[in-house]
Amino acid sequence: MRVPALIAGLILSAGATAPALAGETACGFENGAVVVPASIGGVAGDWLLDPSAPRTQLHNTRAAMEGLTDGFVAEGRLAGLTLPAVPVTVANLDGRAPGFVTPIAGVIGADILAAFVLDLEFEPCRVRVYAGRAPRVRGGQVLALERVGGVPAVSAAIADDRQARLGLFAVDWGSRAAVRVAGATVSPPVEGLDPTRRNQAPARLRALSLDGMLYEEPSAALATDLDPALAGSLGVDLWSRWSLRLDIAGGRLTLLPK
């Protein structure tokens, strides 16, 4: 029987007491994003799980259905775990909502996710959430994280037909393209597709380099919603190659083979 790579890699030092698993839930890996069942401020539904979003947001369409017109501060629930109370912004998320099987309630952002360690498997999609000390993982490739505008980011380099650029790229679980970037030259997108749509990856970039790994002609899109200190974001076309451990507070993103 095949044991999922991430579970098989959870190894404790001899004699150590196993920390409790805080919570686990099935997720959806669809439409270029990771979607989880969750409840924020009593609003239950499918939420995008996206560390590249600095703040948690409720879709204004869903807010209207719930009789909410302004932002609010509330706790939430994910994978059986209570989420810390954060300010929730009511926002127009129409640009992120199309294409999902069920309507998106909102986005769970880095303001909540930084309180936990998350393990993400893409096939099948599952999320494990740890409060406090998480079990150690054996092996894998560890990328250092920096916080930029509240979101975790990794150092990477991109090249187009004119120049190469080194910078910080947000860890993005809510966009299809391997790379979303502003101010670079991408191959012409597929006719009729908007190159700024996060659920599409209609273009190509010449090359991406991440921690010594080179990817030629990665899928790409243009970004118009990033902190100016970021060079871009790296999306699920890239991250779905691995099983992931995201530890924002600890400044580590671990890539484990599937």
Q: Could you state, in chain order, the average pLDDT of each consecutive group of 10 residues for the chain (258 residues)?
A: 37 41 91 96 97 97 93 96 96 89 95 97 97 90 97 96 90 96 69 77 92 95 90 97 97 96
Cβ neighbours for 16, distance < 8 A, ≥ 6 positions apart? none
CA distance 104 to 44: 10
Report the alpha-carbon distance of residue 135 to residue 21 in Å, rounded.
9
Give me the pLDDT at residue 97, please.
84
Give the pLDDT confidence score for residue 192 in this predicted structure. Answer: 63
Pair 207, 158: CB distance under 8 Å: yes
What is the Cα–Cα distance from 203 to 192, expressed in whole angstroms? 12
Provide the whole-model pTM. Answer: 0.89
Angstrom CA distances, 244 to 140, 146, 159, 213, stand at 9, 17, 25, 16
Q: Parallel, antiparallel, or unpaired for β 125-130 and 72-78?
A: unpaired
User: For position 41, what pLDDT does the model report?
Assistant: 94
pLDDT of residue 44: 98
Q: Which two tokens stand for residue 117?
A: 């360690």
Whether 129 and 23 have beta carbons less than 8 Å apart is answered as: yes
* Cα–Cα distance measured from residue 32 to residue 96, given in angstroms and rounded to the nearest whole number: 10
Please give the domain boundaries of the chain with CATH numbers for all domains.
5-10+24-130 (2.40.70.10), 141-256 (2.40.70.10)
pLDDT at 3: 36
In single-letter form, the type of residue at position 235 comes to G
pLDDT at site 202? 84
Helix (H) or strand (E) holding 65: helix 60-65
Residue in the structure block whose two tokens are 């191959």: 187
What are the residues whose beta carbons fall under 8 Å from the beta carbon of 225, sequence distance 6 or more?
A: none
